[in-house]
Structures are given as structure tokens and as C-alpha cells.
Amino acid sequence: MAKQRIIVVGGGLAGLMTTIKIAEMGVAVDLFSIVPVKRSHSVCAQGGINAAKDQQGQGDHPDIHLDDTIYGGDFLANQTPVKTMCDAAPQIIDLLSRMGVPFNRTPEGFLDFRRFGGTLHNRTAFAGATTGQQLLYALDEQVRRFEVAGLVTKYESWEFLSLIRDEDDGRVIGITAICNPDMSIHHFAADAVHICTGGPGIIFGKSTNSYINTGAAASRCYQQGAAYANGEFIQVHPTTIPGEDKLRLMSESARGEGGRVWVPKDGKPWYFLEERYPKYGNLVPRDIATREIFSVCVEEGLGLDGKNQVYLDLSHLDETFLNRRLGGIMEIYEKFAGDDPRKTPMRIFPGVHYSMGGMWVDFEQQTHIPGLFAVGEVEYQYHGANRLGANSLLSCIFGGMVAGPKSIEYINGLKRSADDVAPSAFAAEQNRQIEVFDDIYRMTGKENPYDLGDEMGEWMTNNCTIVRHNDKLAATDEKLVELLERWENVGVNDASRVYNQYVLRTRQLKDMLQLARVICLGALRRDESRGAHFKPDFPERDDENWLKTTMARHTPEGPSLEYEVVDTSIIKPRPRVYSKS
């Protein structure tokens, strides 16, 4: 067999961990990233990473971590991979610590842990309030080591465009990608491809996601045959800072360190989460905190100054303590909102944050397309109907640790390498993509992708987030179809073949619209309430009919939905009631 190569698309935590695992086993990796990898969205993760190391005498255990995760996810996650992840978590923390991540320390010099939502244990290791950034840098450094050793080739400022599949057996044999600085389109051969491109938050217009989190790569794979699972499960984070261009995350760790949520009621602070959830207090899972804040503002009309805002209060805590443990997020609040959260309560409101759903993968992180793997937020596997805080970094890294070696196992079992395929197959797909872009360059309509994107975002945010109604979801899907039609009428006013974001955004928008339909129709179909998916008309969880995974497949007419049984082999589903338990 010819020289083996594996492609990793995406340079966030998931992509980097996958790359490290593959390179460590001696196989060459081509790593594609739309931005220099150090600028990936993982930098935005703030609060920490979970691992039941039980270093504080609370009797924590990976099994409790598993139960918290499954229960927090309202039993929609397949339990076997979640268990493996929770079991591996302590070793992952050790590895990161060995890599030099500057985790906060106890006075003796051990790792410190704090509490996060949906658990009663201090399980979250953290590096100030920029944990994601610190983990990303640590993995980036290890990848750089392999780069110097010649095992990794980075393609930064390159955007993934499409998969190249073998005509005979449909397996992945490569990708096409566009080089942003000169807008040239190229093909690359590989025996396995990992998609690690993160979530689709920009579909909702304003979210806590980075500007690059369009979900376009996942959508492109979906349109080429990969199934997209549980798309309707979108996490709305309870505490974000409203902004003009994005909603900036105010980490759950703020509450983990003692921050309190309140609104004034009858002239006094009303700590409504603490009152309604005496045991978990401000640290109920995110879906619940979000719905409570939403109802206090929208239904009870108690938002600050009549706006959809509540207080998140840290001002009662010691300044040095805050600076050491939450410095990063307080800086963000100071810079963008202009007030000092050490002195005045922050004003926050829920905002779209994370997609529990994503590309369907098996327990080995492989999609339905042979040789196509998916890792990180882009896949659906670990969080069920609602993700617990500080589990996302864990799932990215763990997923990479599974996917890397499994993809090598996969290519070792192949009879034919991608190099054995006739070059014409690669050239054909490359030409098809060149054609797609030439068509975009020729568009002369009146619409522009930014306004269309805003419209999509508004409809999706209004109708497809915290509270969902079937009539509105149906109308939203109609709107998405309309936007897809109007997309054909976009006008491209920039013929430049140098770093043309307008053209790239136009292309991404169409893929975002396709994926938005998956999210919207999945929500429309699922007549129950589970985790982040809440329908007032169907307020209960319905295990009999809906304890199953949504799987969307692309057809020319739109998404076709199938359902798959959920693996509940370890923990029997039970009612999810945080107010008592």
C-alpha cells in the first residue's frame, strides 16, 4: 500500500487532539483550519474541564460523573461512550497537566477543582476563566512539535469545501479545500478524514460562538450523505452579555464560584434560582436556568428596566479570589459592558451557545460514510438533550483520543489506498467546486449574504431556541426555504480573487440554511420536551415515543428524518427533577 495520510479538518481542541494521536502513531496528517489553529473557537471556552478525580474528599467518582451527564442530558445520550469518556477524564486531566496547562492550583500545588452546573461535586479543573484557550494552546504546542518533526502539515486559512468519495464503495478518499489568501481550490487525497469543525452557532445570528462557527463544513458533509443527529438540541446558555455583534459568554464558573442570579422584586433582590432549586441553587443545568430566566423576564415581566436582562452578581466575593479564578471573564465584561463586575452586578440574558446535536457517529467516532470521522461539537455523541458545563472540552479531547487511533485501525484494514484511485476522480470534484465558486462570482442579484444571514438568525433565535411552538417552527422552515430561494438572488460585488470573505460567506450561507432546516424540522417533529428542547404544548418528556435519536439525511427536497434507539444500557431513565432529588 502507498504512503498513508490522514486529513483532519478543524484546528480546535478536537482536531488538534485527533492530530496528536495520529501523528504519535507515526502517520502523517494534513491539518486544515479556516483560521490559524490558535484562533479556533475553543479559545472561547472559559470555565473548565470535568474529571471526577475526587481530590476534595467529596466522594466523587466517574460513575457519578456519568450519572450527572446522562441525567443532565435527559437520557438522550448513548450511555456506553459517555461512560468511557467519564472514566477516561481523570487521565485526560493528568495528560493536560503534563503538557503544561497552567491549571489553577491548591496551596500544596495540586490541581484545584471547582463546581459547575448540574452536579453537586467540585469536578471542574480550570485555568483562570480561559481554560479553553489554555487547553487549545497546549495541544497546539504538541502539534507544533509534530510539525517540526515533519509528521503534520498545516493548511491555515484554508476552508474545507467537500469530500471526495470513491465511486465504487463510497468511502472517503480525500477533500477539496479553498485557500483563502488566493481563493484557489485544490484537492487532497487521504485514506481517512476527520471533521472537527465545531458548532453552527452563527445560524442563530448572534450567539456566543465565534464568527467562523457557521456549521458549513458539517452541512457540506451532510449534503454529501452523512447523517446529522439530534440537530434540534441547541443549548441556550443562561448567562451571556448582550452585544451588537455577538452574545459574549459569561461562564457558568461565575456561579460555580458563588455568583448569584437575581432580579429586584418588591424592592428586594429575588434569588429565584436559589428559591426554586434549593439543592442545586444557581448551579442547575443550563436548560433549566435558561428557562427560568426567560420566564422571569418574559412571562413575569421582572427583567431589569423592563428589558430581557437579569443580574449575575459577584460583587459580594473577594477581589483577589475573583481575579485569580475568574479574571478572564471579568475583563470581558469590563471591556464590553463598561462596568466592573467586582463592584456592580453584571447584566446578563440567555444566548445560543452550543449544539448538542451534530454529525452522527458510531462509538468509534465514524460517520455513515466509511473513512469519515467526526470529533467535537460537530458530532452528537456525548451530551444528549443538554450538555453539562465543562463537559464540552472533555468530549472534544476524548473524542480525538478515540477517533485518531480508530482511523488508523480503519486505514490499516483498507485494501486500496486513496493513492490507488485514478487522479481523474480527484480532479472531477475539484472542477465541480471551481464551478460552484465561478457561479457565485457571477451572481448579480439584489440580496446580500449578511442581511439574509441576519434574517435567518432572527427567525431561528425567535422560534427555535428556548420555547418552541409547532406553528412557529413550521413558519420558520417555510422562511428558510424562502431564504434558500432568495439566496439565488444574491449579488456579488467583489470580483477579487484575494481573500474574498464576501464570496466565502455567500457560499457558507447556503450551507447554513440547509443545516438550519435540519435543526428546525427536527424540533418541529419532536413533540415532547426534553433537555434544551421545550415545547409548552408538550411539556413532558415522552420516553415511550421520543427516547430516540433524530437522524436527518439530506434529500433534494430537504431533510428526511429517521430515528434510532438510544443506548440506555447502564442507567435506567428516570424523571429529571432538579427542584427536589
Partner 1 sequence: MAQKTVQLRVKRQDGPGARPRWEHFEVPHAPGKNVISCLIDIARKPVTLEGRETTPVQWDCACLEEVCGACTMLVNGKPQQSCSSLVDNLEQPIELAPLTKFPVVRDLVVDRQKMFKNLERFRAWVPIDGTYPMGEGPLLSAEDQQVRYNRSRCMTCACCMEVCPQINGRSDFVGPAVIGQVEFFNLHPSGPEEMGKRLEEMMGTGGIHECGNAQNCVAACPKEIDLTDAIAEVGRQVTIFAVKKFLHSS
Q: Which of residues 20-49 bind partner 1 (CB under 8 A)?
A: 20-21, 24, 35-36, 38-41, 43-44
Task: Please state the three-class secondary structure of 467-507 as a single string.
Answer: CCCHHHHHHHHHHHHHHHHHHCCEECCCCCCCCCHHHHHHH
Q: Tell me the closest approach of the beta carbon of residue 112 to partner 1, in angstroms.
A: 8
Q: Does 145 bind partner 1 (CB under 8 A)?
A: yes
Inter-residue contact 265 to 310 (CB < 8 Å): no
- Separation between Cα atoms, residue 373 and residue 381, nearest integer Å: 12
Pick one of 489, 501, 579, 581: the residue that binds partner 1 (CB under 8 A). 501
In which element (H, E) is residue 67 found? helix 62-72
Q: Tell me the closest approach of the beta carbon of residue 508 to partner 1, in angstroms.
A: 13
Q: Does 305 bind partner 1 (CB under 8 A)?
A: no
Q: For the segment 431-450, give every residue that binds partner 1 (CB under 8 A).
A: 448, 450
In which element (H, E) is residue 269 found? strand 268-270
Q: Does 62 bind partner 1 (CB under 8 A)?
A: no
Smallest Cα–Cα separation from 549: which of 529, 535, 564?
564
Complex with partner 1: residue 55 or 470, whichever CB lies closer: 55
Respond yes or no: is residue 286 known to be catalytic. yes
CA angle 92, 97, 99 (to 5 degrees): 95
Residue with cell 481530590: 55
- Separation between Cα atoms, residue 28 and residue 12, nearest integer Å: 18
Listed ranges 68-76, 137-145, 264-272, 360-368: which one lies at the site for partner 1 (CB under 8 A): 137-145
Q: Does 127 bind partner 1 (CB under 8 A)?
A: yes
- Strand pairing partners for 561? 552
Q: What is the DSSP letter of 388?
A: P
Pick one of 211, 275, 481, 574: the residue that binds partner 1 (CB under 8 A). 211
Q: What is the DSSP letter of 104?
A: -
In which element (H, E) is residue 193 found? strand 192-195
Inter-residue contact 241 to 348 (CB < 8 Å): yes
Q: For the segment 3-22, give every residue that binds partner 1 (CB under 8 A).
A: 20-21
Q: Tell me the closest approach of the beta carbon of residue 401 to partner 1, in angstroms.
A: 7
Q: Does 156 bind partner 1 (CB under 8 A)?
A: yes
Q: Does 529 bind partner 1 (CB under 8 A)?
A: no
Pick one of 80, 412, 489, 496: the residue that binds partner 1 (CB under 8 A). 496
Q: Does 104 bind partner 1 (CB under 8 A)?
A: yes
Classified as helix, coil or strand, 457 is helix
Q: Does 196 bind partner 1 (CB under 8 A)?
A: no
Q: Does 339 bind partner 1 (CB under 8 A)?
A: no
Q: For the segment 238-267, give every residue that binds partner 1 (CB under 8 A).
A: 243-246, 248-249
Q: Does 212 bind partner 1 (CB under 8 A)?
A: yes
Q: What is the CA radius of gyration of the chain?
A: 23
Complex with partner 1: residue 142 or 549, whichever CB lies closer: 142
Q: For the segment 364-423, give every residue that binds partner 1 (CB under 8 A).
A: 401
Instruction: Identify the active-site residue in 115, 171, 286, 325.
Output: 286
Pairing state of beta strands 310-313 and 346-355? antiparallel
Complex with partner 1: residue 130 or 235, whichever CB lies closer: 130
Alpha-carbon separation of residue 40 from 21, 122, 222, 398 (angstroms): 19, 28, 22, 18
Q: Does 147 bind partner 1 (CB under 8 A)?
A: yes
- Separation between Cα atoms, residue 140 and residue 137, nearest integer Å: 5
Complex with partner 1: residue 157 or 295, whichever CB lies closer: 157
Q: How far is CA 491 from the centre of its chain?
A: 31
Q: Does 103 bind partner 1 (CB under 8 A)?
A: yes
Pick one of 56, 58, 63, 95: the residue that binds partner 1 (CB under 8 A). 95
Residue with cell 473513512: 371
Q: Does 457 bind partner 1 (CB under 8 A)?
A: no
Listed ranges 291-299, 335-343, 419-427, 468-476: which one lies at the site for partner 1 (CB under 8 A): 335-343
Active site residues: 286
